[in-house]
Amino acid sequence: MPDVELIVVEETKWHAIPVAEILKMQSTSPEGLFDSEAEARLKQYGTNELTPPPKPSFLMKVFIQINNILIYILIAAAIVAGVLQDWAEVALIGGVVVINVTIGLVQEGRAEQAAAAIQGMLSSKATVIRSGERKLIDAKNVVPGDVCFIQAGDRCPADLRMIEVTGNCGILEAMLTGESNPISKHTDVCLPQSALGDRKNMAFSATMVMTGQGKGVVCGTGDLAEIGKISAMVSNVDSQKTNLMVQLEMFGRWISVFVLIIAVITFCVAYLVHDFELGDAFKSTVAIAVAIIPEGLPAVVTISLALAMQMLANNNAIIRQLPAVETLGSVTVICSDKTGTLTKNEMTVQLMQTSTQQYKMTGVGYSPVGVVQDENSKDLPDEKVARMLKMFEGAVLCNDAGIFKNLNHKNPNVPVAWEPIGYPTEVALLTMGMKMGITEVKDFKAQQPRVGGVPFASEHKFMCCVHAASTAPGAPLTIHVKGAPDRLIPQCKNQVMDDDLSKVGPIDENYWQDKASQMSGLGLRCLAICRADFDPKDLSDNMDADLLLKAPTPFLTMIGVVAILDPPRPEAIEGVAVAQMAGIVVKMITGDHPATATAIAKMLGIVDPKLQESSIRTYTGPELDAMDDEGMDSIVLECNVFARASPENKIRIVKSLQRRGQTVSMTGDGVNDAPALKAANIGVAMGITGTDVSKEAAKMVLADDNFATIVKAVREGRRVWDNLVKILLYNMPVNFAQGLSVFFAYIVDIDGHQVPLTAIQVLYVNMITSVTMGLMLAMEPAEDDIMQRPPRRKGKRLFGKMVFWHCIFVSGIMVVCVLGNFAYTLNNIEKSAEDYLYEAEKAADKITKDQASGRRAVKVPKTARLMEARAVAFNMLVFAEMAYALNCRFLKDSAFNFKMFTENKWCWVSIAVTTVLQIFLTYTPGVREVFSNAPIGGASWALILACSLAVFVLVEIEKVIGIHYVMPHIKSACAPRGCCTGDGEHERTQSELNQVQFFASGASTFGLPTRAGSANAGERHGAQGPVAGAAGTSGYNV
């Protein structure tokens, strides 16, 4: 083997180059490389492996969870409390931080394992020809220029340009192209612009050889094989940031700024105006900061999403990333792969055409459940079915496939799974026979043993087998033939008449050609079934296609034509209809032929079934390749069917839809779907038929592979969003009320600027009461019209105008109730000696205060009177919250309805638990002192309950009045600026948001995952490109 020089070139279209030139470009021959040359190339190009993406370390993941401003504020508050030796507050604040960070770490999950899943699909061994001898080597040592031998049962070790094909070499490429049937390979040149599924002279890495054998020159290894390109796309695609995560981030910014402003003002008022000691001023500041920060909100949101995730899992929708639950509710477009998603990926006989009429066969997939019906959709009587079976028995006999029951399958919704062996088309014919009465295919074939035959080959497009009529010696022989109608119709002399095998007449070629053309136009794959008596003298071991092709005269009898299709799932048809009712557009993106894709789309209702095929615009992969992004954007909304689509096409379609303002869900099951699944707002993979690659790239996995489950998930997503709005509508006014109660206690002089709530009381309300009530709201059932609404507007604010208004109105009412009860209690409780002593010391200190500092030297004591007043304020806040939680159960409807008592049992359980806890904290010795409480009397409880009822009634009145008289002014005031984020804010990708130096309360729960980027180009494994000249420099696209 001569020395060669490797030169860098653009990606080569290997499928468009003749074999002789391929060998020359790769400096190889049919005898393969010398071992020395193979070793040299292995050093030059690296191993035939995929480059794993880098992963963040555990410490980096922890830092991501901590790196948010609200966590920093809580940590600072804990430090101040520690300096002041308030260890109970330190423990509670520290617990909040640890819980939020832990939840974030647990929920981050496996975000970047799709490339690793692809790695597991690669072949571990390869048969190569080196120095003219076959050798079995590790597939990772295959190099460009190697000649590989492949046969049935092998996985292709690399991308191969076929140079020799024997025995109808068929390779299943569904994982890359979506094509259900194995592709018959040849060595002829293909057009340069051919789509991946049309490159029939190529064998792609990781695809499975189903039949035959062949040899090919390696032209792509590692990252630069087709599967490697998909792996790189998966690693390089930015995960879409969910609307919820962006909303929580922006909300965190605003609330952080607000907290800091209020805290600074409070400190200044306490320290500079009221001469508080530095420690007391800090404690007051901490109390307000802790009060306003919604420490419990991340936990409530996370647990709410987790509960929804569990409900979805019970309905066969497994959510891999928590925020994806909410995203489902805003989906406007579902882009679905065809094979295995909208269809079962199980070829099924749909029609049976005879000389008399066209029959229908019911049932979907390989399960032998179905009947034969006439043109009026009436079931045929048993005797007619028996005659049909006798006519079409050749479809079962002239068949090398198999089918068996699998009782150990993983789908709990299917009692018996039928597993295929062999070509899907032939398996479909076996299922057809079983539907017509064959109980055991093996026994049926044994009764008419095969004695000879000619296998199918793409050159002649038919298969024929000679069978004896029985097992008796000397039994008559019959030749059964199945194949392409255009090949077999000219070989027929007669046709069966009146659906009776004993009646034959001259063949009407035009009739059969018209019928086959009509069914093919519907996207169906047609097979002609023929038979004839066979003379035993013509039987030999050397039978070939010339038996028919070179027969002196046509001699076959046409039985009929069967039409086969991978049909739509019945539940998918229903799911598409429900999605369209909910304002969601369904688009099909497939690697299949345009005619087949259009036929399936019409059956599903994705396009109008009444339209003629000529009126339906279907774009193919090569057509999309010729478009720039602007051209793609101009057609992507109007076209609902994309055929012959490559992985690159799928990503471009998804991103184009996103540029057009759509929230996109992408469904799929193959390796070719993985990049688009990751690029979509919500990627949905199939759990049973889906590859590990697609599952790892997706945010949701369908355990039952049922498209209709997506629609159920969308409904749940809409419910989750509604309930999140209810939670925020409840949480924020409550937190504002807590903080502002402390703040205004300094502004208005209540018994010497006493604080009504302590930091530990506020933390308890945030982490226990608010969480309990929030979880109750998370369990609210969906509204009746939830799937009749259009999808939620893109960029719709979670912290919207209604929440903003309630932060003013409801928190104002609560502040008045808390401060009013606090002041009333202080004024109506007789002062103790400790109170008088404190007032005397305070008066003396005011006269003789330190002239140097001017600070108050007297520390505020925890008198029994003050603790009882704080207990009243504490209980007033909690019971007002419970009353307001009842208002929030119904956003716009009145809470004065029967549903308040009959729906959501957790409402009353939560109220009961919270009430018991309040009584425990108020009256239990040892515990009440920690929470600055004291026992309170019946009059105080009566006042608390009366004020709580007033809160409930006033909010209900506001629902009636506010929507007409207040909200229009709020909307007008907020319209120019917004309260949280603009419509385009959530379109940022993950990598863009990672550059922002802030992070929200939600970030501590959900984290801000770092993208696992791809390796540097120079470090990637494998190579692709021609070889020429002398060895020494790399000539591949690395």
CA-wise closest residue to 886 among 1011, 730, 754, 1010: 730
- Alpha-carbon distances, residue 176 vs 231, 592, 647, 968 (angstroms): 12, 11, 8, 54
CA-wise closest residue to 957 among 1034, 885, 896: 896
CA-wise closest residue to 197 among 215, 178, 211, 212: 178
Helix 707-747 to helix 770-778 angle, to the nearest 10 degrees? 150
- How many whole angstroms separate alpha carbon 532 and alpha carbon 492? 9
Determine contact, residues 646/621, Cβ cutoff 8 Å: yes
CA distance from start to end of the chain: 24
Determine contact, residues 631/653, Cβ cutoff 8 Å: no
- How many whole angstroms separate alpha carbon 70 and alpha carbon 297? 12
Please enumerate in sequence order all residues whose Cβ is within 8 A of that of 20, keeping only pairs 6 or more positions apart, or say none: none
CA-wise closest residue to 723 among 325, 391, 166: 325
DSSP-based three-state secondary structure for 112: coil
337 is catalytic: yes
CA-wise closest residue to 818 among 748, 771, 887, 717: 748
- At residue 1011, φ and ψ (nearest 5 deg) are -75, 130
CA-wise closest residue to 575 among 713, 734, 375, 745: 713
- How many whole angstroms separate alpha carbon 500 and alpha carbon 384? 9
Q: Is the dihedral of CA 636, 637, 638, 641 positive or negative?
A: positive
- How many whole angstroms separate alpha carbon 321 and alpha carbon 722? 19
Bridge-based pairing of strands 202-203 and 317-319 is unpaired
Quick one: tokens of 567?
């049909």
Residue 347 gets the label, from left (phi > 0), alpha (psi -120 to 50) or beta, of beta
Helix 243-268 to helix 69-83 angle, to the nearest 10 degrees? 30
- Alpha-carbon distances, residue 939 vs 520, 824, 936 (angstroms): 86, 12, 8
Catalytic option among 337, 704, 705, 722 = 337
Helices (H) and strands (E) in the chain, counts: 39, 27
- How many whole angstroms separate alpha carbon 34 and alpha carbon 475? 56
Please enumerate in sequence order all residues whose Cβ is within 8 A of that of 249, keeping only pairs 6 or more positions apart, or say none: 993, 996, 998, 999, 1000, 1002, 1003
Bridge-based pairing of strands 208-220 and 585-589 is unpaired
Helix 87-108 to helix 296-314 angle, to the nearest 10 degrees? 30
Active-site residues: which are they?
337
